[in-house]
Amino acid sequence: MHHDYLDRFSRLDSPIHRTPAGVKLACALLLLLTTILVPISRGELFGAIALVLLAITAASRVPPIFLARRLLILEPFVVGVAVLSLLQPGGSAIFFKLVARGTLCLFTVLLLSSTTPFSEILRVFGKLRFPPILITMLALMYRYVFVLVDEAERMSRARASRTFRHDRFRAWRTGAGIIGQLFVRSTTRAERIYAAMCARGWKT
């Protein structure tokens, strides 16, 4: 239940939300392409792209605080890769521009995922003739990711409540044990899901 940041705002009513998922996906790709094609020397164009993104944010009625917080959480991944540029001569000038470009792209994808329910994206994939087995996997994965994450969290909490000594080796061993248990439980759960699918007439 605390994963409610997922899909929290993906079903609001706004001009952005009403746009079909395929169109949004195409526009996101276009924006990303534009951002990437801007030469690193013409940084001022980044400002223009940022304005476009902010305009879309405003139109989407998604609370900016929510987006800002998620952006902050994901930013380290951008910075982490950009840091590599610091290792080469003349890197620091490029570093900031890389971070700027990466952040703009990140924000674009963030906007896309915040305004589009994943099941609609899956429908677009279906129309794009993705392999059907992949689409089934994606749907199941999306549905059960948090069931499994919750299960893993419960097992971690149980582990923590019986950890009296902070021993790194033991932590690795029990962590691996949790992952192993998670897989074993997933196999039995998968069998039950298969039974449930067959019970409602599923034919491959």
Partner 1 sequence: MNTLEVVHLSFGYANGVNALSDVSFTVAEGDCVGLIGPNGAGKSTLMMHLNGLLPNKMGAEASIRVFGEPICPRNLDRIRRDVGLLFQNPDDQLFCPTVFEDVTFGPRQFGWGDNDVKAAATRALEQVGLPGYGPRSPHHLSHGEKRRVCIAGLLACAPRVLLLDEPTSDLDPRGRRELKTLLKQLPVTKVIASHDLEMIAELCSRVLILDEGRLVREGPAYELLNDEALMLEHGLERPHCLQRTTSAIE
Partner 2 sequence: MHIPDGFLDTKTAAATAGLAVISVGFAARSVRKTLPSSKVPLLGLTAAFVFAAQMLNFPVAGGTSGHLLGGVLAGVLLGPSAGVLVLTSALIVQCLVFADGGLLAIGANVFNMGIVGTAGAYGIYWLVRRYAKGLRGQLAAAAFASWCSVVLASTACAAELAFSGTVRWGVAFPAMAGIHMLIGVGEATITTLVLVAIANTRPDLLQDETRRSAALRYSEVIVYGMLIAVGLALLVSPFASPWPDGLEKVGENLGFLGKTAGKPLAQAPIPDYSIPGIGSPAVATALAGALGTIVMFVFAFFLARLVTPKRVGDPQPPTS
SS3 content of the chain, % helix, strand, coil (to 5): 80, 0, 20
Contact 101, 33 (CB under 8 A): no
Q: Judged by CB under 8 A, does residue 154 bind partner 1?
A: no
Site residues for partner 1, 9-38, by CB under 8 A, read 11
Question: Shortest distance, CB of residue 61 to partner 2, whole angstroms?
Answer: 19
Q: Record the tokens describing residue 173, joined without a space.
A: 């061993």
Task: Using the minimum distance from each CB to partner 1, give the nearer residue, 91 or 117.
Answer: 117
User: Could you tell me which stretch among 11-19, 47-55, 56-64, 105-113 binds partner 2 (CB under 8 A)?
Assistant: 105-113
| Binding residues for partner 2 restricted to 55-84, rule: CB under 8 A | 70, 74, 77-78, 81-82, 84
Residue 36 binding partner 2, by CB under 8 A: yes
Instruction: Identify residues 47-106 at the interface with partner 1 (CB under 8 A).
Output: none
Q: Does 122 bind partner 1 (CB under 8 A)?
A: yes
Number of residues that bind partner 1 (CB under 8 A): 29
Q: CA of 89: how far to CAs of 86, 98, 152, 166, in Å?
A: 7, 15, 44, 42
Is 203 a binder of partner 1 (CB under 8 A)? yes
Burial 130-150 (b: 16+ CB within 10 A, else e): eeeeebeebeeebeeeeeeee
| Neighbour-count burial for 78-114, b at 16+ CB within 10 Å, e otherwise | beeebeebeeeeeeeeebebbbbbbbbbbbbebbbbb
Comparison of 131 and 201: residue with beta carbon closer to partner 2: 131
CB of 54 to partner 1, least distance (A): 28
Among 63, 142, 152, 159, binds partner 1 (CB under 8 A): 142
Burial level of 195, CB count in 10 A (0-12/13-18/19+)? Answer: exposed
Residues that bind partner 1 (CB under 8 A): 1, 3-4, 6-7, 11, 117-119, 122, 139-140, 142-144, 146-147, 189, 192-193, 195-203
